[in-house]
Structures are given as structure tokens and as C-alpha cells.
Amino acid sequence: MRRLPLCLPIFYPHNLIKMKNILLFYLSLIATWLAPIYGLLVLVGAFILADTVMGVYSSYINGKPILSRKLQRALVKSVLYSSTFLLFYGIDTLIINDAILELVRVPLFLSKSVCVFLISIELFSIDEKIRTINKGKGFKFYFDRLLGELRIYRKKISDITENKDESQG
């Protein structure tokens, strides 16, 4: 009986089936471990995507060329942010979650804090791009404008309710 060499044991069909099951097992373990922060990862990714879209739009509006090197930065940024987030999630769950729960009573507080920090970085970046598009008018300008409109509508509503009270009384 001829024996096959020992250097190729993984290429036997029955071993490939076992490897597939082992790979699926480890992928399911990773997915289960990441399940509590899946929404936070998607949220950070959405802000990275929004920043990238605003950057492309800003370049288009200002007539600057859209370079693949600049678009590649979004991929690098998403990998770095995800790595940072996963590192802090591991620290949070495996080391300090119980200690923080005694103080704050918010599960995964460190992970959520890192998520807020990463999103705030992206919001500042998006605000810079909006300022380049709108000649210096960023989030603060539009927020102040929204508050001004809300004050006008609030005054109109209070005038209407006062007129109704006077006519009924």
C-alpha cells in the first residue's frame, strides 16, 4: 500500500470538510463575541462613509481632482478605527467592565466612550468639509439658524394659544 507524503495532509477531501467546519466554528465565535458592539461598529463605519462622501462632494464642488490615494485613506481610517475600537472593546469586556459597572452602571462604558470619541472626530471632519463647501458656514451656523426658526414658531404657537385662551375666557 502506497502512503501519501506527510507534507500534504490538509488537501485530503475529508480534511477539507473538517477545516471548513473549524473555520465556521471560529468565525461564529468571533461573531458572537462582537455581537454586543455590532451596532456601534456600523455607526462608526457610517460616519466614516459620510465623511468620505462629503470629501468627494467637497472636491467636486471646489473643482479639485478626486485622487485614489485620498480615497484609500478612508479604507486605512476604517481599519485603524475598527482596530482601536476592537482593542478597547477587548479591554472593556475582559479587564475592566465589572469595575466600571460599579461606578457608572452603563455596560460597555469604555467601548461606548471610544465610539463617541471616534464619531466626534468624524463630525469635526465633516464640519470642515461643509465649511469648505459653504464658505465658512458649518454645523454651528445651521444649528443657530434652526434654533432661530424654532423660536419664531414657538412664539407664533404661544400667541395662538394666548388668543384662544382670551377668546374662551
Residue 2 belongs to some domain of the structure = no
Look up the pTM and report it.
Answer: 0.72
Residues 109 and 143 in one domain: no
For residue 5, tell me if it sits in a domain.
no
- Identify the domain containing residue 169 by its residue range: 139-169
122 and 167 co-located in one domain: no
Asked if residue 130 is part of any domain, the answer here is yes
Judgement on whether residues 91 and 150 belong to the same structural domain of the protein: no
* Co-location of 117 and 143 in the same domain: no
Furthest CA-CA distance within the chain:
108
Together in a domain, 153 and 129: no
Gap between the Cα atoms of 17 and 166, Å rounded: 82
Identify whether 23 is part of a domain.
Answer: yes
Q: What is the pLDDT of residues 85-131, one digit of tens each?
A: 999 999 999 889 888 888 888 889 999 999 999 999 999 999 898 88
**Do 68 and 151 fall within a single domain?**
no
Output the pLDDT for position 164. 73
Check whether residue 78 and residue 27 sit in a common domain: yes
Per-residue pLDDT at 19: 74
Query: pLDDT per residue over 3-61, tens digit each?
Result: 555 554 555 556 556 777 888 888 898 999 999 999 999 999 999 999 999 999 888 88
Backbone angles phi, psi at 166, to 5 degrees: -65, -40
